Amino acid sequence: SVIHRSDYQEPAFWIDSVDLCFDLDPAKTRVLNKMKMRRNPHVVPQALRLDGEELNLSRVLVNGQGTSFKMEDSQLVLENLPAGNDVFELEIFTTCAPAKNTKLSGLYTSGDSFYTQCEAEGFRRITYFLDRPDVMASYTVLLRADKSKYPVLLSNGNLVEQGTLDDGRHFAKWVDPFKKPSYLFALVAGQLVAREQRITSRAGKEHLLQVYVRPGDLDKTEHAMNSLMASVAWDEARFGLSLDLERFMIVATSDFNMGAMENKGLNIFNSKYVLANQATATDTDFGNIESVVGHEYFHNWTGNRITCRDWFQLSLKEGLTVFRDQEFSMDLASEASARAVKRIEDVRVLRTAQFPEDAGPMAHPIRPDQYLEINNFYTVTVYEKGAEVVRMQQTMVASGPSDPLGREGFRKGMDLYFQRHDGSAVTCDDFTQAIADANPDSKLAQLLPQFKRWYSQAGTPRVKAVGSFDGASGTYSLTLSQSCAPTPGQAVKEPFVIPISLGLISADGSEVASSMHVLTQESETLTFTGLQAEPVPSILRGFSAPVILDFAYTDEQLLALLEHDTDPFNRWEAGQRLALNRMMAFISQDALAVADMKLDARYIEAMRSVLRHPKLDAAFKELALTLPSETYVAEQLDVVDPQRIHAVREALRAQLATALHADWEWAFEAHHENGAYKPDSLSSGRRALTGLALAMLCIAARTSGDTVWPGKALQRFKDAGNMTDRFNALAALVTSGSDLAAQALQRFHAMFKDEALVIDKWFALQAGATDRGGNILPIVKQLMTHPDFSMRNPNRARSVIFSYCSANPGAFHRADAAGYVFWSDKVIELDAINPQVAARLARALDRWKKLAEPMRSAAREAIARVAAKPDLSNDTREVVTRALSED
């Protein structure tokens, strides 16, 4: 049943300590749980209700004596506990079946090893418990298992004892020195090996860092270890936060629902975010590993030391920790241009994934008000928009020239946050209050109640800007008006607090003004005086707030910004607007055939100047020369025909490929390098640009009939010294529909047949390839019969099914509805195996109401078909019910 934020009540009991003993066995693991508990004196005396799921209960003892209990739904209810506030001991003995746990929540096996995933509510699948984040306890864990099958036995905290037992078994005892909520519990058992590193912190303390993987993967752990060391150093330097444990472990598993998990002292990761070497991982993989390792490490303070009072507060730890990992990656990319590239990439994710979520049936505030299944709220809204809301708080504690970005003020706020709340489970209100209280004179403090609407209102605000210039007085006025469309359950929105970073550029390209304006009213007008001529406004620099900016820029203005803006984000944005305006114009002219859509020379010349620019760096050029994604374009339209968007984008890409042929050749030759591989931002930028150039040259070859460049791509594919270049060459052949693609794909599979993460790429590339006459769906179905395909492994299921349904709109949205029928079959099939993965896939049709007919009706029918299944999980049910709701 639906849970409401407003219903929060303190727990009726506290758990002071937990003593767990596991006898690990894949078919039947025995769990003995001894808890020291007491009543919460603030709550009226009542029965104890413990959560449990898919457990076999065999014994319950209170202070060593048998006791009466009953089951109500999935809860274990104890009504006859001792009265008064004294501590009592509750002992519960259960068994569970890790090998049958295909949901990958709780204790499960992957390969021959045991892993856990307890966030959000997986601990109740291990033992009966008060499985909520505000119950923080001290844990002692004894693990027992067969020594030869499970030589490594890990849990949170410190290893205090280990030894052998009878029958070839052994044990390990772990004690976590910190209190924690149950969602941070973890254990791992199996045949694993570790890369180890000893470090000394600033404070002079010694720590042991370990990265555990399967034997054979050790040569792919160096980058994760480097990222972990960099994370430790960064959190000390930027926030004064040190590692608080003697030992910090990361373990990789190939079966994992999400990215990774910040269990205290024992982070468990999807292997995708740990394993990398130059032969198997791309630059993107290296970058993702750096940020996910950082993210989970930073949770140790923002999440673990201070945790969430209830799951509605999820953004308290996730929004803040994403903000921290984004800042970490930007700080590691030392050059200013690389910082900007990271910012552009983060904004691109926000706009292509979060904006649609905020405009669709699953829209929710970063602090949601209700949920049926909390796992559905680990969203880009809670994470990425949450991070933007934290970033705005930093911006709004800036105190002038001495702290223009607000970093110092924000640091003071963080210090106060830890001073007040270390060791407790708190709310988003507690966080914003601490940041504001530490900066009493800031804009944030002045506007706090209104600012907090970012936590309570869903939807992306739209800021409309209109400029007018009065030549006689030399005055430019800019009127900014905000609005926000209704979202489910929120018909009317109050004005937000929107920090808008502004600049004015004069005709000769120099900057004549710059300021930070905080928009609080529905409409405000700014005036700038003393101007010779009408300036071009550069609005929302650095994407200073998560809003949609409407300004009727002319081509001349956009070209001026693209050439002269000092803000790299808006420089990139100007190029995107130039492209978007053209794409929109072509899409909307219903009678216009794709063959007649001609890019104008002005746009082509602008792109040529960017590509040939002597000062811009390669990574920026790659971003600027990439057309807005199909998903982003779709969001700008009221009625969406995904195939037409796809056709238009392909056509324009082909023209850019052909018109700039000589420039792409130059770019390819000038940027490709043969030196040793390094994953740093400069050389990865060069690889990104050569990759784009090669793809463009292969696309141009398709039109011209040239065979030279596809041949070069094949050669490069064969000779490449790293996965980035190899994969880009392969992708260039596949996307351009080259005849050489098939043999390259075959060769790629043969080369990497034992590297699961590379085989995921192989599947994803084919399922995400350009549709030619409806050929992708049959390819996808064929791929699912491949011996390497498995529905049970989330990475593999995602590599085929999600790459098609969520990442390939031109192929998925078919007029014959076959894509939707396939989708509904797979949602239903996956739901029986793993509801979390199924519910994610169910989100692929979130925006069905915008589709043009006949897709719209067909999509609704497919969703209704899923919704009609009687025994759907809460996860999938919540998604499809919301999708069908009239709200």
Minimal distance, residue 301 CB to Zn ion, in Å:
12
Q: What is the DSSP letter of 91?
A: E
Site for ligand ARG in 773-802 (CB under 6 A): none
Pick the stretch among 259-267, 494-502, 558-566, 740-748 that binds ligand ARG (CB under 6 A): 259-267
C-beta of 51 vs 663, nearer to ligand ARG: 51
From residue 865, how far is each of 35, 253, 790, 870 by CA, in Å?
Answer: 45, 34, 24, 11
Minimal distance, residue 802 CB to Zn ion, in Å:
20
- Spell 572-592 as b/e; 16+ CB within 10 A means b: bbbbbbbbbebbbebbeeeee
Provide the 3-class DSSP secondary structure of residue 641. coil
C-beta of 255 vs 622, nearer to ligand ARG: 255
Q: Does 425 bind ligand ARG (CB under 6 A)?
A: no
Site for ligand ARG in 304-343 (CB under 6 A): 318
C-beta of 25 vs 262, nearer to ligand ARG: 262
Q: Does 119 bind ligand ARG (CB under 6 A)?
A: yes
Minimal distance, residue 374 CB to Zn ion, in Å:
14
Terminal-to-terminal C-alpha distance of the chain: 19
Minimal distance, residue 259 CB to ligand ARG, in Å:
6
Pick the stretch among 68-76, 256-264, 600-608, 825-833 that binds ligand ARG (CB under 6 A): 256-264
Which of 257, 352, 442, 576: binder of ligand ARG (CB under 6 A)?
Answer: 257
Which of 296, 567, 641, 831: binder of ligand ARG (CB under 6 A)?
Answer: 296
| Separation CA 342–CA 330 (nearest Å) | 6
C-beta of 431 vs 812, nearer to ligand ARG: 431
C-beta of 260 vs 805, nearer to ligand ARG: 260
Please check whether residue 270 is in contact with residue 256, taking contact to mean a CB–CB distance below 8 angstroms. Answer: yes
Residues paired with 763 in a beta bridge: none
Site for Zn ion in 321-360 (CB under 5 A): 321
| Separation CA 667–CA 128 (nearest Å) | 61
Q: Does 378 bind ligand ARG (CB under 6 A)?
A: yes
Residues 119, 121, 262, 296: which is the catalytic one?
296
- Using left for φ > 0, alpha for ψ between -120 and 50, and beta otherwise, residue 552 falls in beta
Please check whether residue 349 is in contact with residue 542, taking contact to mean a CB–CB distance below 8 angstroms. Answer: no
| Separation CA 167–CA 233 (nearest Å) | 45
Burial class (CB in 10 A: 0-12, 13-18, 19+), 465: buried
# of chain residues touching ligand ARG (CB under 6 A): 13
C-beta of 324 vs 564, nearer to Zn ion: 324
Site for ligand ARG in 528-567 (CB under 6 A): none
C-beta of 325 vs 567, nearer to Zn ion: 325
Query: For 859, phi and psi rounded to 5 degrees?
Result: -65, -45
Burial class (CB in 10 A: 0-12, 13-18, 19+), 442: buried
SS (H, E, C) 838-855: HHHHHHHHCCHHHECCCH
Minimal distance, residue 307 CB to ligand ARG, in Å:
11
From residue 346, how far is each of 258, 349, 625 by CA, in Å?
Answer: 19, 5, 17
Minimal distance, residue 128 CB to ligand ARG, in Å:
20
Minimal distance, residue 11 CB to ligand ARG, in Å:
21
# of chain residues touching Zn ion (CB under 5 A): 2
Minimal distance, residue 373 CB to ligand ARG, in Å:
10
| Separation CA 22–CA 412 (nearest Å) | 44
Q: What is the DSSP letter of 66?
A: E
Rg (CA), the chain: 28
Q: Does 123 bind ligand ARG (CB under 6 A)?
A: no
Which positions from 303 to 322 touch Zn ion by CB under 5 A, shown as an x/- string? ---------------x--x-
Which of 221, 302, 315, 375: binder of ligand ARG (CB under 6 A)?
Answer: 375
From residue 416, how far is each of 305, 325, 419, 421, 433 by CA, in Å?
Answer: 14, 20, 5, 8, 10
C-beta of 318 vs 567, nearer to Zn ion: 318
C-beta of 144 vs 364, nearer to ligand ARG: 364
From residue 76, how far is each of 17, 40, 56, 73, 790 by CA, in Å?
Answer: 19, 18, 12, 8, 36
| Separation CA 151–CA 138 (nearest Å) | 26
Which positions from 283 to 302 touch Zn ion by CB under 5 A, shown as an x/- string? --------------------
Minimal distance, residue 258 CB to ligand ARG, in Å:
4
Q: Which does 378 bind (CB under 5 to 8 A by kind): Zn ion, ligand ARG, none?
A: ligand ARG
Query: For 525, phi and psi rounded to 5 degrees?
Result: -120, 130
Pick the stretch among 137-145, 255-263, 347-355, 555-563 that binds ligand ARG (CB under 6 A): 255-263
Minimal distance, residue 117 CB to ligand ARG, in Å:
6
Q: What contacts 693, CB < 8 A, 6 or more positions away?
A: 664, 665, 667, 668, 671
Can you give the length of the chain in residues? 887
Pairing of the two strands 70-72 and 29-39: unpaired
Q: Which does 120 bind (CB under 5 to 8 A by kind): ligand ARG, Zn ion, none?
A: ligand ARG
One-letter amino acid identity for 107? L
Q: What is the DSSP letter of 452?
A: T
CA angle 210, 215, 218 (to 5 degrees): 50
C-beta of 320 vs 745, nearer to Zn ion: 320
Q: Does 262 bind ligand ARG (CB under 6 A)?
A: yes
Q: Which does 736 bind (CB under 5 to 8 A by kind): Zn ion, ligand ARG, none?
A: none
Pick the stretch among 199-207, 260-268, 585-593, 731-739 that binds ligand ARG (CB under 6 A): 260-268
C-beta of 280 vs 300, nearer to ligand ARG: 300
Q: What is the DSSP letter of 213?
A: E
Pick the stretch among 6-14, 208-216, 252-260, 364-372 that binds ligand ARG (CB under 6 A): 252-260
| Separation CA 61–CA 588 (nearest Å) | 71
Which of 87, 258, 584, 832: binder of ligand ARG (CB under 6 A)?
Answer: 258
Which of 20, 35, 120, 363: binder of ligand ARG (CB under 6 A)?
Answer: 120
Q: What is the DSSP letter of 801?
A: I
Q: Which does 617 bind (CB under 5 to 8 A by kind): Zn ion, ligand ARG, none?
A: none
Minimal distance, residue 450 CB to ligand ARG, in Å:
29
C-beta of 155 vs 321, nearer to Zn ion: 321
Instruction: Say what angle helices 756-767 and 723-735 make with each other, to 10 degrees.
Output: 20
Minimal distance, residue 374 CB to ligand ARG, in Å:
7
Pick the stretch among 253-261, 407-415, 702-710, 789-797 that binds ligand ARG (CB under 6 A): 253-261
Site for ligand ARG in 821-880 (CB under 6 A): 836
Give yes or no: 296 in active site: yes
One-letter amino acid identity for 325? D
Nearest to 495 by CA among 461, 445, 538: 461
Q: Which does 838 bind (CB under 5 to 8 A by kind): Zn ion, ligand ARG, none?
A: none
| Separation CA 39–CA 81 (nearest Å) | 10
| Separation CA 131–CA 52 (nearest Å) | 9
Minimal distance, residue 299 CB to Zn ion, in Å:
6
Residue 315: which H helix or E strand, with range? helix 314-332
C-beta of 378 vs 603, nearer to ligand ARG: 378
| Separation CA 360–CA 859 (nearest Å) | 15
Binding stretches for ligand ARG (CB under 6 A) = 119-120, 257-258, 260-262, 295-296, 318, 375, 378, 836
Binding stretches for Zn ion (CB under 5 A) = 318, 321
Q: Active-site positions?
A: 296
